[in-house]
Every structure is written in structure tokens, then in C-alpha cells.
Copies of this chain bind each other. A is one copy, B any other.
Amino acid sequence: MDCRMIKSPGENTLAILNRRKGSGPRESLIKPDAIGLVQGKLIEMVCAADVAEKAVGVTVEDIKGSCPQNMIMLAIYGDTASVEAALNEIKKKENSRVW
């Protein structure tokens, strides 16, 4: 599982993500302070999405690949501290997994 954070993401980068949202692209988009990105197997992404959803101050979106049924990346939108906390929580949960 690969985790990254983009601080003050540019508009084009937000547009690339917006075009691939599982919930469909949106017309107007508030520009977040930071984006967290998580890429891995589908089963890892679903677990990470649940951890991020329960974190404070972030919004979670699944990002599709080329085909409509695909999900290959999570995008976590929020202020820098909240996104960083959510990514740390995801990595902690992933490492402490029993099976």
C-alpha cells in the first residue's frame, strides 16, 4: 500500500482526480488545503476508506481507473493536519492487522 500527501494541490491536479471520482465528477469543487492519496489492492482500499471516513475533518473519495467498474486509489481531502492524521491512522491500522 502506497501513501502520499500533496499540499496546496493545483487546479489541474484536482481536475484529474475529479474526472475519476467513483461518485461521479462534480461541477463546483472547494479547493482543499491538502490531498492524501492511497493506492493498493481493492481490499486494502476499502479498509483504508473506512479508517479515513471515521477520521476527523476529511472527505474520502474513491478514484477509478480507465474502466467504470475500477477502483484503484483513494483521495482524502481536508486541511493538512487532518489529512496527515488520517494517513497515519491508515498506516497504523494496516501494520497492526492480525489477518
Chain A residues proximal to chain B, CB less than 8 Å = 2-4, 6, 9-13, 15-17, 19-20, 22-23, 37-39, 41-43, 46-47, 49-50, 53-54, 60, 62-73, 97, 99
Q: Is the CB of A13 within 8 A of B53?
A: yes
Q: Is the CB of B15 within 8 A of A42?
A: no
Q: Whose C-beta in chain B lies nearest to the C-beta of A14?
A: B50
- Complex CA distance for A47 and B67, rounded to whole angstroms: 19
Q: What would 4 more interface pairs be, CB under 8 Å, given A16-B46, A20-B69? A: A4-B47, A17-B46, A38-B43, A39-B43
B-side contacts of A69, CB under 8 Å: 20, 64-67, 72
Q: Is the CB of B68 within 8 A of A66?
A: yes
B-side contacts of A72, CB under 8 Å: 42, 65-66, 68-69
**Pick the contact of A4 from B2, B19, B39, B97 — CB < 8 Å?**
B97
- Complex CA distance for A67 and B70, rounded to whole angstroms: 8
